[in-house]
Amino acid sequence: MQITFTQEKEKGTWQFIIEHADLASYRDAVIKEHQSTLSIKGFRPGKIPRDIIEQRIGGLKLTEEALEKAMPDFLDQATKEHSVDVYGRPDIQVTKMTESSPIEMTVKFIKLPRVTLKTYTGLNVKKKEVKASEEDVVASLEEFRNLNAKETDVDRVSALGDKVKVDFDAFLDNIPLEGGSAKDHSIHLGESKQMYIPGFEEQFVGMKSGDSKDFTLTFPKDYGRKDLANRKVNFKAKVHKVLSVEKPELTDELAKKFGDFKSIGDLRDRLRKNLEEDAKRKEEERFELAVIQKLIEKNNFESIPQEMIADETERMIAELESSVTHQGGKFDEYLASIKKSKEDLKKDFSIRAIERIKTALLLREVAEKHSLVATQDAINEVITREKEHHAQNPEMASQIDSPHYRRHVANVLTSQNVIHYLKEHNTPSKK
């Protein structure tokens, strides 16, 4: 078999000239499959002579089926011979096929970009020391008190510390603001500042049940929605209920009611531990991203094909849509609320998509260079564990055993191996 390779920017073409001898073993396999499935009077299953199979199916048809079976191996051979990897599905065109002369075939494909690893260790990315402050612990204890507070309807004006149930509508230039209305919305006065724009919460202090109010607020200059940043928005609001909030005292008895705690000191220690674990997890995520970003900056990447960027942005949009749906929202309504179309998102996501592609290429290259690709034993261990976990769900268990899921597990484990390697080799050594 002869394979000729030509390249034009991010695309490549292979010209195959395939001798029939190259297909012999694949043709044998195809014939055996037909022998086991065909039913011909006078012959037992699996015992149909080869020449009868060839007469019944046709020589050219058998050659087509043999070529189809051989394609994965032929493409693998081509990638190794020319040190090039294919992105996505190649375009395969058989240009000549007869039973008497070599088969000619053209394969056009998008070339997977390569990374030239120049610097990927010793970057000395610093990891921050993290621990829970006393203020964090006190805030968590306060949240614990809020969760266990007793609420009582009161017939008086609201004060800081109360909760109010309100309806409100927002208007921009006298037009109702999409996503700017709420019914029976609960606001904990003095405890919810981070949830609202400055000045919003304070408008409801001093109001009682049945009171209505119109007010205007200016959104912050750095507000997430650009169409609202530094804009004046009018609100119409009505209070339906005022509730006093009685927080429980932080006593040992209270701590015992809500978990395996002997005292309020035990609860405080647990909260501190949880806060520190959460802070460490977040710092670990930040550190990983910092290492990857540094590596992207320090190494050279071939040009990223537009097809790859388009596919990655589509994946990112699908992830966002799944997240919105999972939280009970509708994606069309979400897009309307941020005044964006899917095409707008594609443009917004393009830079991040390139970073994600470069990250994947970088991890792949390091994995191959340092033999960090997940082993079959490691993959099997995960598959076995997952199947045991879903033993009562046969449909899920069968999906876990599929080639697609095995590839997913292999990719996850390989990424974990590489991330661990990169973190170990890019942290300042302790003296």
H, E, C per residue of 284-332:
HHHHHHHHHHHHHHHCEECCCCHHHHHHHHHHHHHHHHHHHHHCCCCHH
Separation of alpha carbons 48 and 54, rounded Å? 10
User: Residue 68: its pLDDT value, please?
Assistant: 95
pLDDT for 335 = 85
How many other β-carbons are positioned within 10 Å of the β-carbon of residue 164? 23
Confidence (pLDDT) at 429: 62
Which CATH number applies to 150-246?
3.10.50.40
77 contacts 3 by C-beta, under 8 angstroms = yes
Could you tell me which CATH number the domain at 2-112 has?
Answer: 3.30.70.1050
Parse the chain into domains and list their residue ranges: 2-112, 150-246, 267-424
**What pLDDT does 383 receive?**
93
Q: For residue 318, give every residue at least 6 positions away whose Cβ sits within 8 Å of its Cβ, in sequence order, or none.
A: none
Closest Cα to residue 354, out of 407, 408, 410, 297? Answer: 297
User: Are 213 and 237 in contact, with CB atoms under 8 Å apart?
Assistant: yes
Check residue 160 and report its DSSP letter.
T
Instruction: Give the per-residue pLDDT at 397.
Output: 80
> Which contacts (CB < 8 Å, 24+ apart) does range 27-32 have?
27/62, 27/63, 27/66, 29/66, 29/69, 30/62, 30/65, 30/66, 30/69, 31/62
The reported pLDDT for the residue numbered 430 is 58
What is the CATH code for 267-424?
1.10.3120.10
Position 177 scores a pLDDT of 86
Q: pTM for the full model?
A: 0.72
The whole-number pLDDT of residue 200 equals 95
79-86's contacts with Cβ under 8 Å and 24+ in sequence apart are 81/3, 81/5, 82/3, 82/5, 82/12, 82/14, 84/5, 84/7, 84/12, 84/111, 84/112, 85/111, 85/112, 86/12, 86/110, 86/111, 86/112
**CB-based contact 358:298 (threshold 8 Å):** no
Residues 6+ apart with CB under 8 A from 149: 245, 246, 247, 248
Each residue's pLDDT, cut to its tens digit, for the chain (431 residues) gives 999 999 988 999 999 999 999 999 999 999 988 888 777 777 777 778 888 888 888 999 999 999 999 999 999 999 999 999 999 999 999 999 998 899 999 999 999 999 999 888 888 889 888 888 899 999 888 888 888 889 999 999 999 999 999 999 999 998 998 778 899 999 999 887 778 999 999 999 999 999 999 999 999 998 877 888 899 999 999 999 999 999 899 889 888 887 788 999 999 999 999 999 999 999 999 999 999 999 999 999 999 999 999 999 999 999 999 998 988 888 888 887 777 889 999 999 999 999 999 999 999 999 999 999 999 999 999 999 998 888 888 888 888 888 889 999 999 999 999 999 999 998 876 55
